[in-house]
A and B are shown apart, each in its own frame.
Chain A
Amino acid sequence: MKRSLQLVAVAAVLLMGSPLLAQLTVPEIPYDSAPNLLTMPADIYLGEAVGVATNSKGNLFVYTRTGHPTVVEGTNRAFRFGSSRLFEFDPSGKFVRELGQGVYGFLFAHTVRLDPQDNIWVVDEGANMVIKFNPQGQIVMTMGRKPEAIRIPTPVINAANPGGAPLPGAAPAGGGRGEGAGRGAGAPAAAPAPIGAGVLGDNFNRPTDVAWDAAGNIFISDGYGNSRVAKFDKNGVFLKSWGSYGAGPGQFNTLHSIAVDAKGMVYVGDRGNRRIQVFDNDGNFKTMFLNVGAPWAICITPGPRQYLYTSNSNGTADFENGEIYKMELDGKIVGKFGKGGKLLKEFGSVHEIDCRNENELYVGEITNWRVQKLTLRPGQAGTTK
């Protein structure tokens, strides 16, 4: 009952404080996009550019859905491989190398992030895995486990189970995409409750993003199937997780992006609920920002004065919305820029933002199969549109 009231309250706030209203007063930030940013070698192409991130030197990493998913027949089961690749480019956009050729967990790319030590972290939504590469390109840590086999045909997702959370007696992970999961022999499985809370540990169900605090603790948004944030220490030891499927504070509906500020506060892009939720380092709910649309991708700038960027991305089948907001960490909107579209400077479903500093952003787009480098010039116009 109480929850229903909360739902209504949230809905009311969404209606009143909607982006439509906000757009009347939010300044437009002028910006440019570098044309033909990336130089690709012959016969290498980007597909959906879902993951983009830069390291300390400004080298650019793109985790892209490209190539073909390959199914290998076994006696009783079928195994799926491929269809995502990880590329590195120098700051001018020139191709440097490919990493993770043929890697077992490269199945359906979701994001890539660079930690302060320049390690490269890949989040793969299809493999239910987070994979850490050192700067040399070697795999130094794996989290989660790729489902062993797939069902053909993929079953319809149960309508009574919108979060894709494991059903009683079902395999412990991978339910959202209908994939059979690891068997976990030898002992009974722990109970995941409530729905979306997931199993204690790095048993992900379509995870979406990763972030770190200053101590190196790892925060993973998990994700489509589960509805939780999972926290690990820097060595991958599970510490805790919080959240479940729903619309109340501390609940999630497709948490799609995550960022941590210098103080260790955790910002979660709760896309399905069209809000950013803010938690302290231990997962205690602090506040939420309701007026910036659906946060497909968020990022926080480094340095003494940090800003939060969030993309109210257009859908993959429309040009609606598409603007990116610049915010103070307390939720105050500083400005906005961009819209959905296919031309340079327009966005085709921005899926990840890397903000190197307040005015230099990289965005990876789903439907335009490209990465754009954006240079913001907030002082140049500063006019209200």
Chain B
Amino acid sequence: MRRGFASCLAIAVLFSAGLLYAQGPAPERAKAYATAREIPYQSVPNFLKMPTGVYTGEGIGVATNSKGHVFVYHRSSPSKLYHFDQNGNFIKEIGKGLYGFAFAHAVRVDKEDNIWAVDEGTDTVIKFNPDGTRVLMVLGRRPESHGLMPTEAPGTPAPQAPYPQYRFGRVTDIAWDAAGNIFLSDGYIHSRVVKYDKNGKFVKDVGTRGTLPNQLNTPHGIAVDANGNVYAADRGNRRIQVFSNDLTLRAIYDNVGAPWSVCITPGPHQYLYSSNSNPDNNNSVLAAVSGEIYKMELDGTVVGRFGKAGKQLGEFQTVHAIDCRNENELYVAEITGWRVQKLMLKPQTPQTASAR
């Protein structure tokens, strides 16, 4: 008994020591945090109006179309795509029971208002027509079901490049250039950015897993500016890598924390938003030094920041997607909060105002 207890204690000490060793340095703020100007903003209360008996799960994807209609792709039972009008009124569910809907990761709307859903569970990217009644294109393929597939075992090495041209490894996000070329961030298992033409034909990819330039560690979001430059949110490496349209590395922004999601505003003067989201493991120590969103010029200059981790309106619970309709109107979807917020930024007012 006594010996057993002593060995228990020894194990406990070993565990603690191992964890302390593994913990490494204390988590730090993003480099730009201290100097970035704080942007006042408001969150519109009760923006999405849910009908009785209809719920959103983990707020994984949010996007708006040209009319301001809001599309939310969320993890529910199993994953669902909801369509709301510009005032947040529920219109309908899109793709109910769809073969490709298993584990939501992103939704984006292209400039023709087609709706694109990115599913990391089935590894498919599905293009709907603007009212969501027809599937127009499918990228990737859901694996055939030959018995249940086990979860990836810890320590399994990441697949090496070259990656298959038309298969994904937990694909995460989608963006387009002005010509309609398709760019995907792919993903948790693959570590690349891949480009297809507007008809879905493979053009090129870049990236292997790693920390060097041109390497990626969980590319989690992607955006393309008006000049066709590609911004990849290299979350695991806590940096944004900027590629030219033919996927040549141009720049690295490493001062805004771990970019969970990026978006670029439309119009002549474009801005880049990036969320240094608090981790989805609900660790309050990490949440205390993360959770803010940065507003940047396309060249990486930080214009300001706003927000922090928390459960109240205007606070963020692991932002997983940002839709920036314009410089001051943003929609954010949160994983752990199961919600979508509409944010109105007020950068013209004095910076002393509170963030809420």
Residues of A within 8 A of B (CB): 1, 3-4, 7, 70-79, 81-82, 98, 100-105, 137-139, 141-146, 148-152, 160, 165, 167-169, 172-173, 180-195, 199-204, 235-238
Contacts and interface: CB of A to CB of B under 8 A. Distances in A.
Contacts of A172: 281, 283
Interface in B1-51: 1-2, 5, 11-12, 15-16, 18-20, 22-25, 27-28, 50
Contacts of B287: 201
30 contacts: A1-B2, A72-B102, A72-B103, A73-B149, A74-B103, A75-B143, A75-B168, A77-B121, A77-B151, A101-B55, A102-B77, A104-B57, A104-B75, A137-B52, A137-B53, A148-B103, A167-B15, A172-B281, A180-B151, A183-B281, A185-B218, A185-B220, A187-B27, A187-B289, A187-B290, A191-B23, A195-B15, A201-B285, A202-B284, A236-B311
B15 A184 contact: no
A102 B281 contact: no
Contacts of B23: 188-191
A168 B15 contact: yes
Interface stretch (B128-136, B240-248, B266-274, B330-338): B330-338
A203 B55 contact: no
A90 to B, nearest CB: 17
B279 to A, nearest CB: 4
A37 to B, nearest CB: 25
B113 interface: no
B180 to A, nearest CB: 27
Nearest to B30: A186
Interface in B138-169: 142-143, 145, 148-152, 154, 168-169
Given A4-B5, A151-B151, A139 B285 contact: no
B336 to A, nearest CB: 5
Given A168-B22, A191-B19, A237-B310, A199 B11 contact: no
A192 B19 contact: yes
B95 interface: no
Please indicate which of the listed interface residues B54, B74, B286 has the most CB atoms of chain A within 10 Å of its own CB.
B286
B258 interface: yes
Given A77-B121, A82-B77, A168-B19, A203 B149 contact: no
Contacts of A167: 15
Nearest to A101: B53
B257 interface: yes
A137 B151 CA distance: 35
A186 B151 contact: no
Nearest 4 interchain pairs by C-beta: A104-B57, A186-B258, A184-B281, A201-B284
Nearest to A247: B5
Nearest to B58: A104
Given A72-B78, A184-B283, 20 more contacts: A73-B149, A75-B121, A76-B151, A77-B149, A79-B121, A101-B54, A104-B77, A142-B337, A145-B280, A151-B151, A152-B150, A185-B220, A186-B277, A189-B286, A190-B27, A191-B19, A191-B20, A191-B22, A193-B15, A201-B283
